[in-house]
Amino acid sequence: MWPLSTGESFMNSASRRTSASFLEGVRTRGVLLLMPSAKASLDDSAYWSWCLAAGFQEIGVPVFSNESSSFASRGITVAAAPEVIHDDTMVIGDISAIESCNSECVTLARRVFERARRSALLCMSDVVSSVDFPDTAPVFVAHSNSRIFARGHRIPWAFGLSREVIDKIAGAHRPQVRERLFLRNFRPSGNQSVRNALDLSFVKRLADKVAIDTSFDNHGRWNSHYFDRLGGSLGCLAYGGHFVEDFFRREEFRSQIGERRILSDEPAIDRWDSWRFWESLASGCVTVALDFDEYGLQIPVKPVNGVHYVGLRLDRLEDAVALLSGPQTPLAVIAENGREWVTTHYAPAPVAHLFLETMERLEESQ
């Protein structure tokens, strides 16, 4: 059995805030966010950098970047990167665009790994679970799953909420009474075998009991109509991901794989995180996702099934159908709990605090 990842041990630690001295040091020196060229970072691959920049600014930490135009595109003003970087300046490299500009991301990652201290990488790429990293610096990764092994000093992280998403939700039309229907508004995309399987096994059962809206917005996830629909619907189906087999069990693949990647039950579920999960919670919907505990899904602060969201188990789908088609009062409680939970833990300011808290603990452990 592989040892617990750094991320697992941090998630099991008692919660605390960043010390006053560490926070003051970061406020004095600031944070430098590095990313690939603006052309590559103008899409959603820079999302984590946008969230952290907004959060750092909300808690009084100066933010610098080599690509200030990326932040300006989302209404965030950051300073240009200084010519001389102090040893105590926290340097964060965002390589989430590793699929579209691999060579530039590799160069950026090497720059971060060569620093002696206070440096980290961000990677929310769909393929991050198949990428190995050196142990030199921590890498905050999306889609972390305790059943999937990859090398590196990996810290499970979450898509969370950006300031722009929060503002759009606040400005959305919200009727006094939500319509009793569930949105199933996934746009067709590749590597979504979990959604396909649940369309066949779960959505059909649920549709026999409650209304489901299967239309989707052609103008993408940033349009106002999308957030209006979330604000007016009782619930939203917000799961994703694809199934991954243990190819190491097949002898002819072992030399290519090198080591076992699936650690327990198979298939494991990869690429499971999505913006829709967070937007649904923050909009006050009953959010339907995979059961985090059952399938080894890792984020810094996990929601509780049946308290903050409705978690699906593929072997007990009838339980979820019964709950979602039952009395509305318990569902309204789950929706409100989920809204409070996500804004408490995953708005920009608490995420920035959590990031600094993690960096301080890593520094203390060295």
pLDDT tens digits, 313-350: 999 999 999 999 999 999 999 999 999 999 999 999 99
Spatial CB neighbours of 360, under 8 Å, sequence gap ≥ 6: 18, 19, 22
Q: Which residues, given as ranges, of the chain have pLDDT below 50?
A: 1-15
Q: Report the CATH number at residue 271.
A: 3.40.50.2000
The pLDDT score that the predictor gives to residue 7 is 39
Query: Measuring CA to CA, which residue among 95, 98, 54 is closest to residue 72?
Result: 54
Q: Same structural domain for residues 119 and 19? A: yes
- Other C-beta atoms lying within 10 Å of the C-beta of residue 243: 14
Is 325 within 8 Å of 206 (Cβ atoms)? yes
Is 291 within 8 Å of 194 (Cβ atoms)? no
**Residue 90 belongs to some domain of the structure:** yes
Q: Same structural domain for residues 226 and 339? A: yes
CA 318 to chain centroid: 28
pTM: 0.92
In this structure, the dihedral spanned by the alpha carbons of residues 142, 143, 149 and 154, taken in order and rounded to 10 degrees, is 20
DSSP 295: T
The pLDDT score that the predictor gives to residue 40 is 64
Determine the length of the chain: 366
Query: Measuring CA to CA, which residue among 292, 359, 343, 328 is closest to residue 120?
Result: 359
**Residue 1 belongs to some domain of the structure:** no
Determine the Cα–Cα distance for residues 80 and 215; give it in Å rounded to an integer.
42
Q: Same structural domain for residues 104 and 239? A: no
Q: Same structural domain for residues 210 and 232? A: yes
Helical axes 47-58 vs 163-170, angle rounded to 10°: 80
DSSP class per residue in 312-346: E-TT-HHHHHHHHTS-HHHHHHHHHHHHHHHHHHH
**Residue 11 belongs to some domain of the structure:** yes
Q: Same structural domain for residues 120 and 183? A: no
Q: Same structural domain for residues 65 and 193? A: no
Does the bond joining 327 to the residue before it have cis omega, within 30 degrees of 0? no
Q: Same structural domain for residues 205 and 270? A: yes
The pLDDT score that the predictor gives to residue 219 is 66
**Residue 342 belongs to some domain of the structure:** yes
Q: Same structural domain for residues 237 and 328? A: yes
**Residue 58 belongs to some domain of the structure:** yes
Q: Same structural domain for residues 69 and 104? A: yes
The pLDDT score that the predictor gives to residue 84 is 87
Q: Same structural domain for residues 15 and 33? A: yes
Q: Which residue range is the domain that position 352 belongs to?
A: 6-161+347-365
Q: Same structural domain for residues 200 and 157? A: no
Is 55 within 8 Å of 162 (Cβ atoms)? no
Q: Report the CATH number at residue 22.
A: 3.40.50
Structure tokens at 73: 């595109």
What total number of domains does the chain contain? 2
Q: Same structural domain for residues 46 and 78? A: yes
